[in-house]
Amino acid sequence: MEKNASILLTGGTGSFGSHFVPMTLEKYDPARLIIYSRDEMKQWDMAKKYGDDPRVRFFIGDVRDRERLYRALDGVDYVVHAAATKIVPTAEYNPFECVKTNINGAMNLIDACIDKGVKKCVALSTDKASSPVNLYGATKLASDKLFVSGNSYAGSDGCRFAVVRYGNVMGSRGSVIPFFKSLDAGAMLPITDTRMTRFMITLPQGVELVWHAFEDMVGGEIYVKKIPSMNILDIAEACVPGCEHKVVGIRPGEKLHEQMIGEEDAAHTFEYPEHFKILPAIHNWSTDAGRIKDGVKVPEGFSYVSNTNPDWMSVEELRAWIETNADTIGHF
């Protein structure tokens, strides 16, 4: 993204937007940064923070509403797609609604970006889209495929689409760290499974991955950042030192370990110093030197899973992060 551009962020009042907006305003100084979302109260709260900044605009709308997207994208150069129905149990019990937002909404946005002359669009994905076991993951896998194929629909001179994929964000609303921290002193911490592992990423790292995608993309790439893992017992110890716990079992649709890249994608995956890049199997794009650049092909059978990750975060490192970010944990 160049400076003085017009940027639109779908789902802009969510966790990602809380960091993307201030970081992007500072780094790129856009002419307009449009927050597109359907929650008027969150927009109201966010507007109070940026009310005096003429660069920040607010647009009530839903990605399910094709006509509203077309209106919102007038004069927009770049789009970041963060809108989604993403709570796993919510998706399981409201599957039609999840499909309407995550799949139909993706199709609406792709068409609107192409027809309105947007230069580039980066969509946010999730670890749950890799070998999905729940409806949310299945809809995000479909969404990823739609954005990859959107480059074919756009033609050689049209909008370019790419995807970034990461897992649960450290300290975000509803995640395990604020949950553990909210329990009463001396309470037994509920642990789903003592073997469970999770990738650990901060929202600033997620924002930087989106920036990198805009700078690097040719079209159709899925970017996966290299990040550390932790065992759930170590996360609990970092949050509540010396805590006792009880095993409560894995929830429906939940994985024991997070997977970002499956073995099936290894044939089209390349490694870089700070990330991986899954290239599309279609149109021989996975052999395109312009997309590969200086990447190194991963070995046959490679997968990127939280329990086999070579990089691990220690209890002390997470505890230090919690202390530094205590004021924001659970508020984004």
State the catalytic residue, choosing from 128, 140, 255, 277.
128
**Residue 176 resides in a domain:** no
Tell me, yes or no, whether 127 lies in a domain.
yes
Residue 178 belongs to a domain: no
42 counts as catalytic: no
Q: In the prediction, which pLDDT does 174 show?
A: 73
d(CA 125, CA 109): 15
CATH number at residue 117: 3.40.50.720
- Domain assignment present for residue 330? The answer is no
Asked whether residue 283 is assigned to any structural domain, the reply reads yes
Residue 137 lies in a domain: yes
> What does DSSP say about strands 6-10 and 78-81: parallel, antiparallel, or unpaired?
parallel
Distant-in-sequence, close-in-space partners of 191: CB < 8 Å, separation ≥ 6: 232, 233, 236, 245, 246, 247, 248
Look at the chain and report how many structural domains it folds into: 1
CA 214 and chain centroid, separation: 14
In a domain, 144, yes or no: yes
Q: Which residue has the tokens 């970017």?
A: 223
In a domain, 107, yes or no: yes
Cα 217 to the center of its chain, rounded Å: 17
Please state, in angstroms and rounded to a whole number, the distance separating the CA atoms of residues 164 and 85: 17
- Per-residue model confidence (pLDDT) at position 121: 98
Distance CA 230, CA 246 (A): 18
Q: Indicate the length of the chain as a whole number.
A: 332
User: What pLDDT tens digit does each residue of the chain (332 aa) get?
Assistant: 899 999 999 999 998 999 999 999 999 999 999 999 999 999 999 999 998 899 999 999 999 999 999 999 999 999 999 999 988 889 999 999 999 999 999 999 999 999 999 999 999 999 999 999 999 999 999 999 999 999 999 998 999 999 999 887 888 877 889 889 888 777 889 999 999 999 999 999 999 999 999 999 999 999 999 999 999 999 999 999 988 899 999 887 789 999 999 999 999 999 999 999 999 999 999 999 999 999 999 999 999 999 999 999 999 999 999 999 888 887 67
User: Would you say 194 and 247 are in contact if contact means Cβ atoms under 8 Å apart?
Assistant: yes
Residue span of the structural domain in which 19 resides: 6-166+202-225+260-304
Q: List beta partners, residue 297.
A: 270
pLDDT at 183: 83
Here the tokens at position 116 are 């309105």
3-state SS, residue 10: strand
Give the span between the Cα atoms of 276 and 260, in whole angstroms.
10
Query: pTM above the 0.85 mark?
Result: yes
Q: Assess contact for 46 and 14: CB atoms under 8 A.
A: no
